[in-house]
């Protein structure tokens, strides 16, 4: 990590400990269910990889990739699915894993699509939550950390495609983008 470019918000150890707690909570809550964990690419891939190894249950994984339609549709939260699921969600307990919930528009859209496909239930697990920015009523059942309105990178989150490999959750220093 280049500490001239970032400040650490949550260290690798803090993240690891919190992910472990989330995994334990999910393990307790999903006993006896047909669990399908779905990661929203790309940001969730590192969180998802660590999280599922803390869930002590039989489970399946799948991934979805989405992109916004552009400025005019950002407000409607309409997103384009660029990679859909490989498997059916019918009858499954779906746990959507996202890196961060910001306005909530993306997840709200994905959640609505999945609900039409007859899953047993759909819940959300996010590493980070910025509730002050919410524009769509998304409530995550499992939240790693609630944060202020900050732009963060690392642990899967990028800025201009970079920093995803930083093991901590970091705040970009203004000198990087000004
Ligand atoms: P939403 O539809 O909730 O506004 O968008 C969530 C998506 O916006 C996240 O999956 C992420 O890709 C991006 N995003 C929101 N806040 C941040 C942030 O602080 N840092 C980074 N790297 N991406 C963010």
Domain boundaries, the chain: 12-148
Contact 170, 8 (CB under 8 A): yes
Residue 76: pLDDT band with limits 50, 70, 90: low
| Mean model confidence pLDDT for the chain | 92
CATH among 3.90.550.10, 2.40.50.1040, 3.40.50.2020, 1.20.120.430 for 12-148:
3.40.50.2020
- What pLDDT shows up at residue 77? 61
101 lines ligand 1 (CB under 6 A): yes
Going by pLDDT thresholds of 50, 70 and 90, the confidence category of residue 70 is low
pTM of structure: 0.93
* Helical residues (DSSP H) of 4-93, grouped into ranges: 12-29, 45-52, 71-74
pLDDT of residue 178: 77
Whether 102 is a known active-site residue: answer yes
**Closest atom, ligand 1, to C-alpha of 163:** 22
Contact 62, 85 (CB under 8 A): yes
pLDDT in tens, 104-121: 988 998 988 888 999 999
Asked whether 158 lines ligand 1 (CB < 6 A), one says yes
* C-beta of 104 in contact with ligand 1 (< 6 A): yes
């Amino acid at each position: 990590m280049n500490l001239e470019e970032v400040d650490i918000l949550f260290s690798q150890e803090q993240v690891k400990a919190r992910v472990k707690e989330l995994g334990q909570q999910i393990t307790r809550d999903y006993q006896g269910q047909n669990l399908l964990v779905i990661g929203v690419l790309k940001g969730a891939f590192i969180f998802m990889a660590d999280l599922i190894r803390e869930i002590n249950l039989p489970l399946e994984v799948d991934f979805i990739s989405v992109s916004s339609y552009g400025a005019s549709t950002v407000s409607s939260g309409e997103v384009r699915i660029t990679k859909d699921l490989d498997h059916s969600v019918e009858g499954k307990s779906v746990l959507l894993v996202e890196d961060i919930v910001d306005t909530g528009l993306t997840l709200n859209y994905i959640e609505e699509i999945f609900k039409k496909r007859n899953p047993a239930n759909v819940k959300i697990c996010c590493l980070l939550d910025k509730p002050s920015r919410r524009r769509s009523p998304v409530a995550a059942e499992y939240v790693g950390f609630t944060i202020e309105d900050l732009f963060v990178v690392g642990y899967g989150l990028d800025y201009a495609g970079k920093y995803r490999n930083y093991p901590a959750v970091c705040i970009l220093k203004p000198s990087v983008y000004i």
